[in-house]
Amino acid sequence: MRLRTELRLGIGALLAVQALTTLAAVSLLGRMGPAVDVVMQENVVSIEAAEDMLAAIADPGPESTQRYIDGLARARANVTEDAEPALLDVLEARGPDALNGDAEARRDTVKAARALAEVNRDGMAKASVAARWRAFAGAWSAVLLGLTSFGLSLVLTRRLRARIDDPLQELASALEGVQEGCAVRRVEVFEGPEEVRRVSALVNQLLDDRHRPLDARATPTHDPDARAALRIALDTMPGPAVLLSADGRPQVANLAALALNAAELDLARAGAPPWTVIPVGETGARLARILPAEPATPGEQSADP
């Protein structure tokens, strides 16, 4: 998997979990308010109506009769529990007699009104339990999403460390070892992203090229006939001769130059003595040579002791 794709997937998963956590919290808080409102609108209204009817029965009179009728009407309009219709029928049938002083009707009416209030209190308790369970489930859902996010963060961190940080540390350690003079130090190619593996392989190839003969190194010259012609031309030159690319990499060398070591080649790239560097046209390539010493004249020979 490519590094860019892996990073996008990991960060996208974290962002998705964080978004789900936020949405779950908002949804939970948004549902708690309406649940409380439903309890207040449905059950509390019926309880207040039952209390008004009980108060009217306790103090009979013209105003109490109207108060009883109004309470019964509010209770009829706010039926929320299965047991309420039967109780309301008793209150409607026995209420007039109870208001007129019938003792038995009064007992039946009081019993029905109290039962009506109790049914609605039970409904409130059930709604409260449901709201608590909803809050409990929402809280644990948020915890689960948070733990999932934390787990994904750990997985992503460990994966990035194993697939990116560790290979980079290995690459730096290998280059430091080579810089300190270890000729056999190489980069361990991890099973990481394609980009990291490619860089490690290229670094190893470059390190190997430092100890290979010039004609065995990788070169951008792909035409075998052109390379052969260049080598023949360089072999006609006395002394070591190396054709360098514009970036200083050896391309073709004659037989005298094949015996050179890496340090001597570095001098050739830099154009340091005893090397002479000659530009090749406008290509940017350069010809590095060690010119043979000129023979001494007869007068110079006689001057020697």
What are 272-294's pLDDT values in tens digits? 888 888 888 777 788 888 887 66
Which amino acid is residue 225, in one-letter code?
D
Residue 217, helix vs strand vs coil: coil
Kindly tell me if the per-residue pLDDT of 126 is higher than 50: yes
Question: Average pLDDT over the chain, rounded to whole?
Answer: 77
pLDDT at 1 over 80: no
Length of the chain as a residue count: 305
> CB under 8 Å to 283, separation ≥6 — which residues?
246
C-alpha of 148 from chain center: 12
Please name which of 275, 211, 272, 200 lies closest in space to residue 242, comparing C-alpha atoms: 275
Structure tokens at 37: 């409102």
Does residue 33 register a pLDDT over 60?
A: no
pLDDT per position as a tens digit, 12-30? 777 777 777 777 666 666 6
Q: Which residues are CB-neighbours of 109 under 8 A, at least 6 positions away?
A: 53, 57, 90, 91, 94, 95, 98
The DSSP H or E segment spanning 176 is helix 166-179
* Cα(292)–Cα(274) distance, integer angstroms: 10
Given pLDDT bands bounded at 50, 70 and 90, which one contains residue 101? confident
Q: Give the residue extent of every domain in the chain.
A: 3-158, 219-289
Helices (H), 82-165: 84-99, 103-160
Q: Distance between CA atoms of 260 and 262, rounded to whole angstroms?
A: 7
Which DSSP helix (H) or strand (E) runs through 255? none
Position with higher pLDDT, 169 vs 135: 169
CA separation for the pair 163, 184 (Å, rounded): 24
